[in-house]
Amino acid sequence: MAKQEKELTVEERLKSLYDLQKTLSEVDRIKTERGELPLEVQDLEDEIEGLQTVIGNFNDEIEQLNTVISNQKSSIERSESLIAKYEKDQDNVRNNREYDYLTKEIEFQKLSVQSAQKKIDEASHKVDAINEKIQQAKAHLVDNEQALSDKKGELDTIIAETKQEEEKQREKAKKLENKINNADPRLLSAFKRIRKNARNGLGVVYVQRNACGGCFNRIPAQRQMEIKMRKKIIVCEYCGRILIDPAIAGVSEAEALNS
């Protein structure tokens, strides 16, 4: 039969919880050393992706405009071919009506040529304008790619310097979490919830100057006595943090009164 794990006393749970808090705070400190770099890297990656999408859309628009230009050039070729045919036919007309008809057809095709040429000019101007925007976007893209490379290099260096220590602290935190979870799953869950909502990430604090070490609201004397007895889990009635006796945190009463 597997050996049953020893049940932790309230004091042991509080001590383990405070050790977990210190370990996670150390992980937070390591993350802080990286500063805003991870966010800056993510922002640059998002901006680069956006620029690549913009350039792709511009290229699609140019392709559509080139199709318009190609179609209009084909239209001009057809019209010019008809004009040449009608002008040749005018030499062989039998009466004025046929001549007038051909003249009108020639005028119509010439108008078609003018209209097609206007569309070509408009599309060409748009292509030029879009190409200019593409060059600007590409220049911005090159700048961002260089900045991303620099930021990633800087971040990789910091991560390399702190990775071993972070892994060590995370492994320690995992063992403490398992220890607390085996003894009191609800306590661990409550701690994680409190820590997540706390501005400074502190879910467990010791009494300082007769007040909560988290929100600094005064704790009644009777409440402080209960905390010192370490018989039950006590939370701050103002901020919800778990309160412990300074001695559990390795702090003397004198230090707690003067901190």
> Quick check: 1 pLDDT over 50?
no
**Whole-number Å distance between alpha carbons of 69 and 229:** 88
Backbone angles phi and psi of 156, in degrees to 5: -60, -40
Supply the pLDDT for residue 71.
97
Determine the pLDDT at residue 3.
43
Q: Find the DSSP H helices in the chain.
A: 10-33, 37-90, 96-183, 185-197, 221-229, 253-258
Q: Which amino acid is at 180?
A: I
From CA 234, how far away is CA 232, in angstroms rounded?
6
88-132 pLDDT per residue, tens: 999 988 899 999 999 999 999 999 999 999 999 999 999 999 999
pLDDT of residue 4: 45
The predicted model gives 24-35 an average pLDDT of: 86
Contacts of 231 (CB under 8 A, 6+ apart): 10
Which domains are seen in the chain, by residue range? 34-180 (1.10.287.1490), 184-258 (no CATH)
Mean pLDDT of 14-27: 94
Digit-coded pLDDT (tens) for 187-241: 999 999 999 888 888 999 999 999 999 999 999 999 999 999 999 999 999 999 9
